[in-house]
Structure 1
Amino acid sequence: MKKIVPGLLTAALLLGGLESCNNKLNVQPVSTIDSATAFNNSSDVLAGLVGCYAGLQSTNLYGGYLQFMTDLLADNGDESFVGTFTQPQEAQRKTLLITNTQVSATWLSAYDVINRTNNVLANLGKLDTPAQQASVEGEAKFIRSLMYFDLVRAFGKAWNDGTPTSNLGVPLVLTPTLSVADAQQVPRNTVAEVYAQIITDLTTAEAKLTTGGSLNAFSATRYACAGLLARVYLQQNNYAAAAAAANRALASSSFGLNTFYGENFGYSTTNVATATVPINTSANTREDIFTIQITAQSGSNQLNTFYARNRRADVTVQPQFLGLFETGDTRASLLTTPTASVPAYTRKYDAQYGNIKLMRVDEMLLTRAEANFRAGGTPVGATPLADVNAVRTRAGLQPLASVTLAQILKERRIELAFEGFRLGDLKRNQESTTDPLSNATIPWNSPRLVFPIPFRELNVNPNLKQNEGY
């Protein structure tokens, strides 16, 4: 009879049991997909592109915080944050902390979207046709450019503030980040390098989408690429290029101004004065060039949460802004009427699930007007006077006989108010703002008007340098 050693038998049984347990415990997660199998075919890549668009809906990006926080940071008396959240209070007071969670969340969400686009771009070869490859490449590069443009403007100095070839912007990450180690070692590129990459991507995207893409406000088109290029060139004070790009953005006969300004925000001509909420909370219009789609099931409109008088009503419109309107300006109907005890509010975001109109025809008309005016010479597309009068006439105002730069900028300030344009416009026009507590003047190039690099990012990435003043 063979002798069985109890200790060895126990060990053998334990080892066998451990192997069985390991097999049971080694379960593939059902909520994520391994990078090795995520992009196997054309359908996977197209699904990845949809994920890029979904990322833009984030509360931390165009779902609200990006526009909301930058507008508050720039504000010099047009609006006032009266809520209790400390993060927006810091923005309005121009005293952002490196631990501001909304600033940190914007950084994280933006780089998440950038990584999604990089994964799509790395797998273009798996698409079925060259036409598909061109279209998907163009759309992904548009989204990546959109993210980098708003990141570099928020976290870096303005293009016209010092030397962009030495001023630090944000890290350029152009390939998929597959490990934590990859992400930890990325330094900040210069402002000039980031702008150069944006222009390269958008130029490529506009060319790729000449035959690809579809003309709708949901997906990026060549017109949206041209419109974003117009923004970039305007920020660089490259006025001739900005005018040309804005003109290309307006080139489709499918685009045009809505009859009534309120249609951009879900109102009709007949219901804006009496409706509690807009009658149409989702549909795009002929004025939309690129829109963030929001539904009850997808996306978030935090602009509704903060601005709408029937939600938190955290942002009030101040008399300074109300005083900009001429008598008869129908755009004023998108503001509530203040009383002795109740301030005014904007009605742009009354629809809880209203789409966020990120790029419209009116912006491009005013961009073309300003750029043509500043560039001088023969105007591209239309005269500055004609473009400004198109916007004014739609607002129920008399057309001007002649136009000045101040009038163009005033129309832009009214037309695009509370939509995230104020900080970029303030800096490129070198306008000062005001400390709401001390009433002291804050110059346009103050470090207080630049987002800090988030504290958590500095902790995990030793190659990142903090902005001046933090």
Structure 2
Amino acid sequence: MKFKKIYIVLFSIVFLGSCDLDPIPTSAIVVDNFFNNDDEILAGIINIYDGLQGSNPLEGDGGFNNPHLAIQVEYQMGEVLSDNARTKSGSPQGFDFETFTVLPQTAAVITYYRSMYNIIFRANLVLENLGNASESNVNRFEAEARFLRAYAYFNLVRFYGDVPLVDRILNTEEEEDRVIAFTRVNEDTIYNFIIDDLEFAVNGGLDNSSRSRASLAAVQTILAKVYLTLGQYGQAQGLLESVIASGDYSLEPNFFDVFYTEANNETIFSIGFDDTLVNDSQGFSAEFLDAVGRGTGSNYATAELVEALENNGGDRTQFTIREDPGNPGLFQTVKFLPIPDPNVGTFTVPSNPRIAGNDWIVTRYADVLLLHAEAILAGADQTTSSAALESFNAVRVRAGLDPQTVITRQLIMDERRVELAFENHRFLDLKRFGVAQEVLAAFSAANSHDFQAFELLLPIPGPEIAISQGVLTQNPGY
């Protein structure tokens, strides 16, 4: 399902999104006259998804004048900041991340932070107006809004560490609200808030009927990943087994179909895009190509990832990377590229590659199966659990690889790397497994970069610190 922009003055407001920092709607009358019934509240919920989708910038602005690209820039921190991806030749879209020279002024650092808080603002706006919802829909509306708010906070806390906790609409003309808006709180407090939102959503009456809106399985999967991040393996295992037992999801037999048959059986939660309007399309897949889009060649495979795919990718490799036709020896990602032609094994570029409708997959069933094996492993070095082997080997066998009889931590990391390459999991996986510093230091040394341990957290955006007038503080090292 694609969600069109909602052109209502109310929703044009950006919290923590511009230098004048005004969370007050441009028309108080619009606020007073909106959210009066279920239809208007639903429009507000769809607008949260719109914020997560981001706004594909218009031609000529390069994306730098758009503060809300949201997940469209996430690949820079999720993949290029790891040992998976690089730029073709110093592309401005990601070069700071490739070389571990990210600064508080780096464009993606700023727009991603602002985008997540914009999503949180939209969710809070809905949550504060649920008094006008019908009794039959109020719990579902609240569950959906709290799921999306929790997802935004989960992204923020993993990438930036301690962040401000905003659980209501703030008026920063009031000193107390201004302090709340810019005061960073401890990660533990943020995680408790996320868990509270997601636990409510688990019991909020959601089902598994949608792939592009909140579903029970989407909530359970994200909550399980939260628990895995915190080392609470039993809670994660139970949630993942609920997703598996639902019977609503399965691995696609053909890996290609995961990305080019949208809302397929494997997709649990995706962000929808449309290929007819530039404002509802995505431009990031064009950035993965050479000489098109906002950047050029900005998410190429590292030599290390190419080797991993050649050794362990199996049937996935041809639909994960291809050799750049114009730059032999360099490899592009083919996941999410526009207009595929599986019959001849090529991916042709449309006349305007920045108008692409490929949905972004946040999580899918293969992710669930590998997380399930990780939860059973529970931080140990290896396991022979039949349940873990069943989940782990289902992913391998789909790729045409031999099943394993023993699962190790390294095998799970290796399998997640090749199965989920370019899906923005790698950097966060390395952190969750506790090996990010070791892996990235070795990768950096081998490629003449200068990774340092403090770079496991992104810097707090410099413009936000300036706006806060000294209230918002910076992460160490930046």
Alpha carbons of 1:177 and 1:35: their partners in 2 closer, same or farther (altered >3 Å)? farther
Q: Partner letter of residue 48 of structure 1? A: G
Cα deviation per residue 1:189-230 (whole Å; 9 max; x = unaligned)? 110000000001100110113xx4551111101111100011
1:23-422, aligned counterparts within 5 Å?
A: 34-58=30-54, 60=68, 63-73=71-81, 75-76=82-83, 78-86=84-92, 88-128=94-134, 130-156=135-161, 169-181=162-174, 184-186=178-180, 187-209=183-205, 212-213=206-207, 215-266=209-260, 283-296=262-275, 297=277, 299-308=280-289, 311=292, 312-325=296-309, 326=311, 329-334=314-319, 335-337=321-323, 341-351=328-338, 352-374=356-378, 383-422=387-426
Mapped partners of 1:52, 1:333: distance in 2: 35
- SS of aligned partner of 1:196: helix
Q: Is the 8 A contact 1:94 1:449 kept in 2?
A: no
Mapped partners of 1:310, 1:233: distance in 2: 41
Cα deviation per residue 1:344-384 (whole Å; 9 max; x = unaligned)? 111102123200011100000000011102267xx9x9611
- SS of aligned partner of 2:86: strand
Which residue of structure 1 lines up, in the alignment, with residue 444 of structure 2?
A: 435
- SS of aligned partner of 1:131: coil
Mapped partners of 1:206, 1:218: distance in 2: 17
Q: Partner letter of residue 79 of structure 2? A: D
Q: Partner letter of residue 51 of structure 1? A: N
Q: Is the 8 A contact 2:93 2:298 kept in 1?
A: no
Residue range with higher mean Cα deviation, 217-226 or 298-307:
298-307
Q: Is the 8 A contact 1:315 1:345 kept in 2?
A: yes
Mapped partners of 2:357, 2:217: distance in 1: 25
User: Structure 1 regions of 5+ residues with no counterpart?
Assistant: 1-28, 157-168, 267-279
Q: Partner letter of residue 45 of structure 1? A: I
TM-score of the two chains, using structure 2 as the length reference: 0.78
Residue range with higher mean Cα deviation, 387-396 or 94-103:
94-103
Cα deviation per residue 1:291-337 (whole Å; 9 max; x = unaligned)? 10000235343330222458433332133212223478100111214
Mapped partners of 1:328, 1:69: distance in 2: 23
Alpha carbons of 1:299 and 1:63: their partners in 2 closer, same or farther (altered >3 Å)? farther
Q: Is the 8 A contact 1:310 1:350 kept in 2?
A: no
Cα deviation per residue 1:374-432 (whole Å; 9 max; x = unaligned)? 267xx9x9611111110011111122233222212211111111111112111222322
Alpha carbons of 1:327 and 1:35: their partners in 2 closer, same or farther (altered >3 Å)? closer
- SS of aligned partner of 2:372: helix
Alpha carbons of 1:407 and 1:144: their partners in 2 closer, same or farther (altered >3 Å)? same
Mapped partners of 1:55, 1:92: distance in 2: 27
Residue range with higher mean Cα deviation, 89-98 or 133-142:
89-98
Which among 463, 466, 474 is matched to residue 466 of structure 1?
474
Alpha carbons of 1:215 and 1:405: their partners in 2 closer, same or farther (altered >3 Å)? same
- SS of aligned partner of 2:421: coil
Q: Is the 8 A contact 1:229 1:242 kept in 2?
A: yes
Q: Partner letter of residue 420 of structure 2? A: L
Q: Is the 8 A contact 2:100 2:450 kept in 1?
A: no
- SS of aligned partner of 1:208: coil
Which residue of structure 2 lines up, in the alignment, with residue 447 of structure 1?
A: 454
Mapped partners of 1:367, 1:403: distance in 2: 13
User: Structure 2 regions of 5+ residues with no counterpart?
Assistant: 1-24, 56-67, 339-355
CA positional deviation for 1:342: 4.2
- SS of aligned partner of 1:237: coil
Taking only aligned residues, the RMSD between alpha carbons, in angstroms, comes to 2.8
Mapped partners of 2:359, 2:460: distance in 1: 30
Q: Is the 8 A contact 1:63 1:303 kept in 2?
A: no
Which residue of structure 1 lines up, in the alignment, with residue 8 of structure 2?
A: none
Cα deviation per residue 1:99-131 (whole Å; 9 max; x = unaligned)? 122211111111111011001111112112x23
Mapped partners of 2:324, 2:99: distance in 1: 24
- SS of aligned partner of 2:269: strand
Q: Partner letter of residue 416 of structure 2? A: R
Q: Is the 8 A contact 2:208 2:217 kept in 1?
A: no
Q: Number of aligned pairs?
A: 407
CA positional deviation for 1:178: 4.4
Identity, in percent, stands at: 28
Q: Partner letter of residue 41 of structure 2? A: V
TM-score of the two chains, using structure 1 as the length reference: 0.80
